A and B are shown apart, each in its own frame.
Chain A
Amino acid sequence: MKGNEAIAEAAIQAGCRHYFGYPITPQTEIAAYMAKRMPKIGGTFLQAESEIAAINMVYGVSSAGKRVMTSSSSPGISLKSEGLSYLAGSDLPALVVNAQRGGPGLGGIQPSQSDYFQATRGGGHGDYHMIVLAPSSVQEMADLTIKGFELADQYRMTAMVLADGTIGQMMEPVSFDFEIKEQIAKPWATTGTKMARKHNVVNSLYLNPEQLEKTNFERYERYEVIKQNETLCEEYLCDDADIIIAAFGIAARVSKNAVNEARANGIKAGLIRPITLWPFPEKVFAKHAEHAKQIISVELSMGQMIEDVRLATSCKVPVTLCCRVGGMIPTPDQVYNAIVEANEKGGK
């Protein structure tokens, strides 16, 4: 199954019955899958007139307390950013998928990771974050979609699956043998009062600055809980590593090959693969910065995650960049050579 299809099937299994989207390469398989499946299971598939319309339809369904999602690729996510900010301001859960392609502008249709800043910093205006999940296999496309829905509901915020064109387009075996948790109650949803309770209001407009400040403070308290409880990453051969690669998604797959190659040649290399990009696995990086000689951030961008790596390690260890951009993907050899070079130079 293709990565994009795995996302769509997982969403359906997670109980999502509402999908709004607008086609864009390389994520259109999600919309196509939903178009085929939703009518058969009593759900809604709607191809909106634009990305902006789609995200606002998400806002509407989420207000009514139902699991809902949209998906797009980089230029489309920029269009949705206004809606992402409104969802955050109204504390609404939603799942948004970005199968990233090269940018800026219309860019290209080949894979990229250059929306890291946009995703981890929220995307739209105002003080807010999204939970950002970065799958690196087709199986994780499914797993993290389900997790995304659960976290979104639990913390009343948007979860973004930040994939890329490669993982979206590639096929791998995937198992849907999940135990789906029961959805939590949403007493805040606008489901009709039936004259039995006070009105629920879903809104992001607070003209009273004291009240708006309070909502922001409360939101950031929630973010602290998320940082404590929901940070995920994979540590691969890190414990004795001199050279550590930081990479997520497709870049991590390529890097793992390079790490194995380095180990086979007697170089102590390891890999930290953040699975949540926000919250970022700061503690894990801080821990390994104590013994690593150098960290190499391998990215399909001009160096975005590298800033978080430097922050997390308090610049205790040199952090360098190994990248390809514009739809190009680094080769295992390129990463391996960067490891060899770092190992020879010795870093700190």
Chain B
Amino acid sequence: MTKEYLFAGFGGQGLLFSGKVLAYKGLIENKNVSWLPSYGPEMRGGTANCSVILSDDPVGAPIVLTPDVLVAMNNPSLDKYENAVRSGGVILVDSSLIERKVNRDDVSVYYVPATKLASDEGAPTLANMILMGKLLTVLGDYNEETVNKALEKCISARHADMKELNRKMMEIGKNYTE
């Protein structure tokens, strides 16, 4: 089985990081994985997106064009990729940044005011991890053990103090209901 994920939004929102956590989680779970970023020259702002593929077979083309799962963190990303999502797929929307609703009825849509929830916790830059927590939960794929191992892999020693906060944010996402 192959599942294709696309994380899209502004640069600086941590979308590449989200993808990395997901890819490492897949790797730890013995899947074939690929992670491919696409972004402009800006460090912050501009558009950024990240393709992740988890598969039981070797991964062919690493570019995700028709995602099974879309995580959208700004309006232009939702406009651009909404129609690309496979029928029966999942769209996760940061509803504190995107006011409109998704126009499709053949996909499962979840609205999470992630940026607001993260700001309430004093960590507005970790909205990505709230979405990640919610995403894994709705996919039935939230495995505490592999999630924690993936976070260990993705957060460098220099930022070790951030591990607990990332974990907490994922919990918030996991427990959030609309």
Contacts and interface: CB of A to CB of B under 8 A. Distances in A.
B61 A172 contact: no
Interface string A231-256: 00000000000000000001001101
> Counting chain A CB atoms within 10 Å of each CB, which of B23, B33, B38 scores highest?
B38
B16 to A, nearest CB: 10
Contacts of B27: 173
Nearest to B35: A171
A260 to B, nearest CB: 7
Contacts of A169: 36-37
A180 interface: no
A25 B36 CA distance: 15
B36 A170 contact: yes
Interface residues of B, number: 18
A166 B60 contact: no
Contact of A170 (B32, B41, B62): B62
The number of chain A residues touching the other chain, given as a range, is 10 to 19
A215 interface: no
A318 to B, nearest CB: 25
A64 interface: no
Contacts of A329: 63
A298 to B, nearest CB: 11
B65 interface: yes
B102 to A, nearest CB: 24
B123 interface: no
Interface string B1-45: 000000000000000000010010001000011111110110000
Contacts of B59: 172
A334 B93 CA distance: 30
B61 A257 contact: yes
B61 A254 contact: yes
Given A25-B41, A109-B41, 18 more contacts: A109-B40, A166-B63, A169-B36, A170-B36, A170-B62, A171-B33, A171-B36, A172-B33, A172-B35, A173-B27, A250-B61, A250-B62, A253-B61, A260-B60, A329-B63, A331-B61, A332-B61, A333-B65
26 contacts: A25-B41, A109-B40, A166-B36, A169-B36, A169-B37, A170-B35, A170-B36, A170-B62, A171-B20, A171-B23, A171-B33, A171-B34, A172-B34, A173-B27, A173-B32, A250-B61, A253-B61, A254-B60, A254-B61, A254-B63, A256-B60, A256-B61, A257-B60, A260-B60, A332-B61, A333-B65
Interface of B: 20, 23, 27, 32-38, 40-41, 59-63, 65
